[in-house]
Amino acid sequence: MAGKPALDNEAIYRDRSFLGHPKGLLTICLRYLCNSFSYYGCTAILIYYLYKEAPVGLGFAEKEAAQLLSLYFALVVICGVVGSYMADRVFGPRRALRLMNMINPFAYIILAIPGSGVIGYAAAMGLLLCTSMVAGQSLNNLTSKLYVKGDERRDNAFAFIYIIANIGAAIPAVTGAISLHFGYHAAFALCAVASIVGSTIYLTTERRVFGTIAEEPADPFPEAKKKQAVFILIGAVVAIAALLAFLFVNKIITISQFANTVSSVGVVLPAIYLIYVITSPKTKPEEKRRVLFIIPIFVAYCFTNLVSYQGSTVLSIYAERSVDMNFFGVEISPASFITLQSIFSILLGSAISGLWAKLGKKQPSTPGKMGIGTLCYGISILIMVLPFQIYGPGEKASPLWLVAFYAIYTIGEAICWAAGTSAATIVAPAAFATQMLTIWSMGQSTGASLSALAANFYKEGSESIYFLCIGIAVVAAAVVILLLQKPLARGMGLEKQE
């Protein structure tokens, strides 16, 4: 494979050899497939590993476990801000992705080591955060670069990636079963294998299938300043790691205090970043206008991710504690619900992608799609109010409530992810191509931050009010977007693309 010649860039743009798309999309899809396998396989069981008593788990309190996981989700995206900046200014997307793929497998390998304990957990999470600080949204940016401006295949490429990624994300039922019968470290080992395979595929094919596309930074620093930026990044990582180790070892701060502080920063950081992009002299006047009109959609996206992270934290704990997990006489892992979500994502994502293709020019505008998707998120979390009204304390709930939650929530996710990501690539100023994708993805960190803060108000006996408040807020955001969809589409300059 290494001996085959690289494709010419113009030939790549015209290429339709992979299901009507450039063959580079196949490499990207396989990387997404393996990454989803390792990432979701790990995070689906991580919360249980965190609060199970030692030596099975790490022995954190349930609230601390929920906050730690939400905090990790938020930090991945916040660190991605740094990674996208480095990709745009120092490394270029391709070199950033090479570094990421060389580092990523080691995080899962550390988690797979029996007895690694809290130190091993911290080291693994640190390495995963480092990969975000190196690459950010480079993979999505590379996907976008495979298509010339106005290519109608772009939206479909992101929808296709969404489906492929969710095939890998169906693994939690497997890692959950392995953790039940063989322990958490065995499940993490399987995630490590997937990560190694994905990195190997990318590193051995990327030079041939991408030509010179995205090799150089979009807005590079001078050479001397590039080296300085790398040294500053390494120094900052070491200093922050040492400071946190000191604060936690000496019990100067608690997990809850740290989670609340970082989460508060995570809520306001996207606004600061957007102001930076809009006011930058490198952003042209017409680019500023387009970015301003994506803000209402971005706010709605933040609310959808608040719902999303309830499924990974609070509802994951609820599944283990209060849901009947006996399936025809066989005990299944609560992580299986994450697999169910992935199956829904594949089926419903394919159906929705086909629906948009069939509707063609009659399909909703991007803001319209985001409004519909956000409404689905709001309805899904409102459904979870009902089981707390129907079942008494200590009574096991039917798993069908969580099935309904994931089904409706996944419809919203399938609509919002592809439409929103594609819109972000279109309105992105030329000098902030990767960083605009990171700002969009920061809707995930903001949602995770809101989830970590909301966990402070989640108490046994008040679940109905908790989910009701979240549901009302999300539905209200959806209604606003649906009412403003036409002026938003015009302002973002999406009419021609749609």
User: What tens-digit pLDDT sequence spans the chain (498 residues)?
Assistant: 444 555 677 888 887 878 888 888 899 999 989 998 899 889 888 988 998 888 888 988 888 888 888 888 878 877 887 888 888 888 888 999 999 999 999 999 999 999 888 999 999 999 999 998 888 878 888 888 888 877 777 777 887 787 787 777 777 878 888 988 899 999 999 999 999 999 999 999 988 888 888 888 877 888 888 888 889 888 988 898 888 888 888 888 888 888 888 888 878 888 888 888 899 888 888 888 888 888 999 999 999 999 988 887 888 888 888 888 776 667 777 777 777 777 887 788 778 878 887 887 788 888 999 999 999 999 999 999 999 888 877 788 888 899 899 999 999 988 988 788 877 877 888 878 767 877 887 888 788 888 878 877 777 677 788 899 999 999 999 999 999 988 988 888 776 444
**Domain harbouring 133, CATH code:** 1.20.1250.20
Instruction: Provide DSSP, 369-419.
Output: HHHHHHHHHHHHHHHTHHHHHHSPTTPPBPTHHHHHHHHHHHHHHHHHHHH
The answer to whether residue 214 sits within a structural domain is: yes
The answer to whether residue 246 sits within a structural domain is: no
Q: How confident is the model at residue 190, as a pLDDT?
A: 95
The answer to whether residue 181 sits within a structural domain is: yes
- As a whole number of angstroms, the distance between CA 124 and CA 147 comes to 35
Output the pTM of the full model: 0.74
The answer to whether residue 1 sits within a structural domain is: no
Other beta carbons less than 10 A from residue 123's beta carbon: 17
Other beta carbons less than 10 A from residue 261's beta carbon: 12
Q: How confident is the model at residue 114, as a pLDDT?
A: 92
Q: Which residues contact 301 (CB under 8 A, 6 or more apart)?
A: 370, 374, 416, 420, 440, 443, 447
Domain count, the chain: 1
- As a whole number of angstroms, the distance between CA 99 and CA 106 comes to 12
The answer to whether residue 239 sits within a structural domain is: no
Sort 354 into a burial class: Cβ within 10 Å, 0-12 / 13-18 / 19+: exposed
The answer to whether residue 244 sits within a structural domain is: no
Q: Are 3 and 137 in contact (CB under 8 A)?
A: no
Instruction: Provide DSSP, 24-46.
Output: HHHHHHHHHHHHHHHHHHHHHHH
Q: How confident is the model at residue 6, as a pLDDT?
A: 58
Instruction: Provide DSSP, 63-84.
Output: HHHHHHHHHHHHHHHHHHHHHH
Nearest to residue 334, comparing CAs of 448, 175, 185? 175
Q: How confident is the model at residue 373, as a pLDDT?
A: 94
Q: How confident is the model at residue 7, as a pLDDT?
A: 61
- As a whole number of angstroms, the distance between CA 24 and CA 28 comes to 6
The answer to whether residue 68 sits within a structural domain is: yes
Q: Which domain holds residue 193?
A: 14-219+251-492
According to DSSP H, which parts of 250-323 are helical?
255-279, 285-312, 314-322
The answer to whether residue 4 sits within a structural domain is: no
